[in-house]
Amino acid sequence: MLGAAEPQLFVADFEAACAYFTDTLGFEVVFTYGEPPFYGQVRRGAAALNLRLVSRPVWVDDVRDRDELLAASIAVASAAEIRALFAEFQAAGVEFFRPLKQEPWGARTFIVRDPDGNLLLFAGTAV
């Protein structure tokens, strides 16, 4: 049986990425590694994301936006929670790649773009 997945996000400025995830998205830093830090993990609830410092871009041009390449998908338990999370992120000034919408398969989703261009999908049930 599988436990949890921990997607790895590539970031150009490790300290700035940690600050964004904690100050803007409400995550907490679980750990950092290295002197200076180049790897670490942030968590909000059961959702954990690993951050990895890279010295040059790992994506070509605008392929992430063009092909909507998600770095992570994060589920919430209910329609009320996805709406509340979207409102919380709006109030925090989060940059949305795609605002909250009802998907044809029944989920409500929105996509956040972090400062490094990583696309993070948040999804909840429609009812």
Strand order in the sheet with 39-44: 8-11, 47-53, 39-44, 28-33
Task: Please state whether 34 falls in left (phi above 0), alpha (psi between -120 and 50) or beta.
Answer: left
**According to the model, what pLDDT value does residue 106 have?**
87
Alpha-carbon distance 96 to 29, whole Å? 22
Tell whether the model's pLDDT for residue 112 goes beyond 80: yes
The reply to whether the predicted model has a pTM over 0.75 is yes
Overall average pLDDT of the 84-97 stretch: 96
* Residue carrying the six token digits 């063009």: 66
**According to the model, what pLDDT value does residue 97 have?**
95
Domain ranges of the chain: 8-125
Percent of the chain clearing pLDDT 90 (strictly above)? 75
**According to the model, what pLDDT value does residue 58 have?**
72
**According to the model, what pLDDT value does residue 121 have?**
95
Backbone angles phi, psi at 57, to 5 degrees: -60, 140
Each residue's pLDDT tens digit, 22-66:
999 999 999 999 999 999 999 999 999 999 999 877 777 787 777
**According to the model, what pLDDT value does residue 105 have?**
87
Domain 8-125 sits in CATH at: 3.10.180.10
**According to the model, what pLDDT value does residue 74 have?**
93
Backbone angles phi, psi at 19, to 5 degrees: -65, -40
